[in-house]
A and B are shown apart, each in its own frame.
Chain A
Amino acid sequence: GAGVSQSPSNKVTEKGKDVELRCDPISGHTALYWYRQSLGQGLEFLIYFQGNSAPDKSGLPSDRFSAERTGGSVSTLTIQRTQQEDSAVYLCASSLGAVTGELFFGEGSRLTVL
């Protein structure tokens, strides 16, 4: 596609359920990033992929969060046993490389945990 695609755009779930958020980056972009944005807050770095590997997982808030990327393309962010504090917009971005920081963002997945 022409841009970064994220799904679902909105997700409402009950506390304790697992959720999967998907990101389809721009074709040919080797670097992929996940950020979390809580209401009125800035972008919190979660994880970064270069190809299929994640050199930096330091931003994942807890072991309930995991992410993978397959085929150097689509990435999935999984949150297990969701908590109310997980409610936020999860943004995915991709770039040609990890050096210059020219990120292209998707529209985000808005997660609400009841």
Chain B
Amino acid sequence: QKEVEQDPGPLSVPEGAIVSLNCTYSNSAFQYFMWYRQYSRKGPELLMYTYSSGNKEDGRFTAQVDKSSKYISLFIRDSQPSDSATYLCLATGGTSYGKLTFGQGTILTVHP
């Protein structure tokens, strides 16, 4: 079992839709959770960062962590064509410091 699992999609939505991206993880010691966005032929860039459980909001983006179920989510409101990218989740902490394990990535397309 991979430490971080993510549905690769692809996911295609119309502009303006609410997008929900999800990951599960297996290591209960993980306490740092991140979402990275990767545009085609570019390196990933940090989008959202959360420590422990709870929600974090930044503009149209909301990151949610439920440590009891080992579930992390990213919500995108009012999705735009410019949101089309691959979204990767990352979980780390405990004894896994250093070996940072990403989910497989979800390919999102927002069509006008």
- Which residues of A are at the interface with B, using a C-beta cutoff of 8 A? 4, 31, 33, 35, 40-43, 45, 48, 50, 55-56, 58-59, 91, 93, 98-108
Contacts and interface: CB of A to CB of B under 8 A. Distances in A.
Contacts, number: 63
Given A35-B102, A107-B42, 4 more contacts: A98-B98, A101-B90, A102-B34, A102-B49
B43 A91 contact: yes
Interface in B20-57: 32, 34, 36, 41-46, 49
A41 B43 contact: no
Nearest to A35: B102
B101 interface: yes
A31 B98 contact: yes
Contact of B88 (A42, A50, A55): A42
Contacts of B105: 41-43
A67 to B, nearest CB: 14
A45 B35 CA distance: 16
B44 A101 contact: no
A109 B102 CA distance: 19
Given A42-B104, A45-B101, A105 B92 contact: no
B107 to A, nearest CB: 8
B102 to A, nearest CB: 4
A108 B42 CA distance: 7
B46 A103 contact: yes
Nearest to A91: B43
